[in-house]
Structure 1
Amino acid sequence: MIPIVAMMIPIVAIWTKHQQKMAEMQVGATAEQTAEKAAQYVGQIQRLEDRVQVLERIVTDRGYDIATQIEALRDTRRVDEGAGVPLGLSNKERV
């Protein structure tokens, strides 16, 4: 029995080192994947922030009246399909 235990000690030591290396490799791979996903999210967030800035600039800088534009778009659906009405025209100017 003693020789068997003596032979098992190096085998267990080798197996333990192998398991430790496998765990380190898995941690490294997980860290890489996390960094890649974080970079993707940063890119998505930046694009969304850019879009919001453009929308804010459209609404504030040009003084657009969004409700009027929405109603104008609704009115264009009621007009003949071939005729479009620019957003800046009021009901009186269309006639």
Structure 2
Amino acid sequence: MDAGTIGVFIPIIALSIPIVAIWTRHQRKMAELQVHTTADATAEKAAQYASKVQALEDRVRVLERIVTEKGYDVATQIEALRDQRRVNDTSGAHHNRDKEAV
């Protein structure tokens, strides 16, 4: 290599260093943003999971209370719920027929 070639490479290298530094800083910022986004999403999912677990625990407590209550006739209550469901299903069917007639 002669002096002219080296003279050309020196400014190219001198200009490349800040460009690489800017690109590296940008990549670091992008990685930090991705980490924050992932952490927020994970925290949100954990909160949703916790609320679902709490709802299930509440339901289990209610079921435990129902089963452990003295004098509670489970079969009668189940039949009452089935009868109530039948009434709701039937009224919904009548409601839908009324809409179709209009």
State the TM bucket, normalised to the shorter chain.
Answer: 0.5 to 0.7
For 1:91, the equivalent position in structure 2 comes to none
Instruction: Give CA deviations for 1:38-79 in whole Å, capped at 9, x if unaligned.
Output: 11011000000000000001001235466xx29x95xxxxxx
1:23 to 31, 50, 70: 31
Gaps of 5+ in 2: 1-8, 80-102
Tell me the C-alpha RMSD between the 2 structures.
2.4
Q: TM-score, with normalisation over the residues of structure 1?
A: 0.66
More helix by share: 2
For 2:97, the equivalent position in structure 1 comes to none
Equivalent in 32, 42, 49 of residue 34 of structure 1: 42
Q: Which ranges in structure 1 are unaligned for 5 or more consecutive residues?
A: 74-95
1:60-79 equivalences under 5 Å are 60-62=68-70, 64=72, 69=75
Identical aligned residues as a percent? 66
- Residue correspondences, number: 73
Determine the structure 2 residue equivalent to 1:51: 59
**Partners in 2 of 1:24 and 1:47 — Cα distance?**
35
Q: Which residue of structure 2 aligns with residue 92 of structure 1? A: none
Ranges of 4+ aligned residues in structure 1 off by more than 2 Å: 62-66
Secondary structure of the 1:62 match is coil
Measured after TM superposition, the shift of residue 6 of structure 1 is 1.2
